[in-house]
Amino acid sequence: MDWNAKCIVFDVTNACNMNCRHCYKKTSRINNIDEKSIYKFLLMIGDYIDINNIVISGGEPLLYPEIKNMLLYLNGKYNIRLNTNGVLLDKYLDVFYKMTKFKIQVSLDGYDNDTYYNVRNNNSFDKVIYNSVLCNRMGLNIVLRATLTNNTIDDYRKFFIISEKTNIPLKIKPMLNMETVSAADLHIGKERLMKWYNDLSYSDKSNYIEGDIFNDKYQCSLLKEVPTMSTLYIDEKGEMYPCIGLQNDMFKLGNIKDTDYKSIGENLLKVTGFVKSILNEKKCINCGFRNDIGDGTCIAACFYGREDCFNKTIQGE
């Protein structure tokens, strides 16, 4: 089966220098993806589809032992975005300065030290801002990505002030569907969230929004005639999934160490068939939560945010 991917995300390591409350990567065992397997995989995939966009993430990718070699090897071949918490940016300025078609995205989950600590259990807010400004003044392409929580939504405009003062672009995305994890108090309720979207969408600050889950024109690209992964997600072990929100064995597409374009397509065919069967369930069709998420096709939102309901649906309960 033919398939396509708009972007490939590599979580190159699960090592991190923070202990964020909402993190799904917490583990005592550190895994680093094999560097050469990445290069081999990209060469193989490049024979079949055009891969222009690559995201390097983690964990904290700047803790990946081969991060310098990887960035320089991929330099100029792809549009590369580095997702980082920003604490170590000043240690890699010499490498960043050599990069082309390169963007740095810094996670900023608070607008001051207190709100930042509330999410990340870390007092690095000032360091992150300092490093981000340093990169910006060097002429590097850098953007702040703020995760809006229940504790910051009332004062969300404080994020705008940071962006305006530092002259660094910023995007805000709400923290969604966190009732089933330890950070449930950070979750923003639906009514409050919809009000925030509406208020911001009709203001001169609408450019700060990263996507809109209540956009009824959205449809999961996996359901197209030629399945297209908006994000082909690859974790620190090399395991592949069709979406960053579908990290589970039932959605696994194989491992980059021993796969090819055809076998990925065969596994994707099984996954898309499974997804369609769930979406066609009467219980799923009539679900109010599903109908609030785009046109009701975001299976990842249901899998992540309503796991109990999801499991009951696939079990026919």
- Closest to 41 in 3D by CA, of 253, 270, 250: 253
| pLDDT for residue 294 is more than 80 | no
- For residue 180, the model assigns a pLDDT of 43
Residue for token digits 């300065």? 97
Mean pLDDT within 10-24: 88
Give the Cα separation of 250 and 241 in Å (integer): 9
Q: Which residue has the higher pLDDT, 213 or 78?
A: 78
Mean pLDDT within 22-27: 74
> Residue 291 is which amino acid?
N
- For residue 214, the model assigns a pLDDT of 56
Give the Cα separation of 194 and 126 in Å (integer): 31
Of 37-46, 122-131, 179-188, the range with the lowest mean pLDDT is: 179-188
Give the Cα separation of 167 and 252 in Å (integer): 41
The model's pTM is: 0.92
Mean pLDDT within 277-291: 75
> Residue 1 is which amino acid?
M
| pLDDT for residue 314 is more than 50 | yes
Of 27-31, 85-89, 157-161, 183-187, the range with the lowest mean pLDDT is: 183-187
Q: Which residue has the higher pLDDT, 132 or 183?
A: 132
State the distance between the two ends of the chain, measured CA to CA, in whole angstroms. Answer: 32
- For residue 179, the model assigns a pLDDT of 47
- For residue 296, the model assigns a pLDDT of 57
Give the Cα separation of 60 and 70 in Å (integer): 15
Task: Let me know: does 256 contact 8? Beta carbons within 8 Å.
Answer: no
Mean pLDDT within 11-28: 84
Give the Cα separation of 89 and 214 in Å (integer): 35
Residue for token digits 């995939």? 45
Mean pLDDT within 95-113: 96
Q: What is the mean pLDDT of the chain?
A: 87
Q: Which residues, in sequence order, are CB contacts of 311 under 8 Å at separation 6+?
A: none
| pLDDT for residue 7 is more than 90 | yes
H runs (alpha helix) in the chain: 35-46, 67-74, 93-96, 113-120, 125-137, 157-166, 190-201, 261-279, 282-285, 288-292, 299-305, 307-314
Task: Let me know: does 244 contact 20? Beta carbons within 8 Å.
Answer: no
Domain made up of 4-260: CATH architecture: Alpha-Beta Barrel (3.20)
Write the pLDDT tens digit of every residue in 211-251: 655 554 556 788 888 888 989 999 999 999 998 888 889 89
Give the Cα separation of 126 and 47 in Å (integer): 45
Count of residues in the chain: 317
Write the pLDDT tens digit of every residue in 134-152: 999 999 999 999 989 989 9
Give the Cα separation of 291 and 298 in Å (integer): 9
- For residue 218, the model assigns a pLDDT of 58
- For residue 317, the model assigns a pLDDT of 67
- For residue 302, the model assigns a pLDDT of 73
Give the Cα separation of 64 and 74 in Å (integer): 15
Task: Let me know: does 38 contact 232? Beta carbons within 8 Å.
Answer: no
> Residue 115 is which amino acid?
T
- For residue 123, the model assigns a pLDDT of 94
Task: Let me know: does 263 contact 249? Beta carbons within 8 Å.
Answer: no
| pLDDT for residue 128 is more than 50 | yes
Of 40-54, 186-200, 240-254, the range with the lowest mean pLDDT is: 186-200
Mean pLDDT within 27-36: 89
- For residue 289, the model assigns a pLDDT of 67
Q: By CB neighbour count within 10 A (0-12 exposed, 13-18 middle, 19+ buried), where does 282 fall?
A: exposed
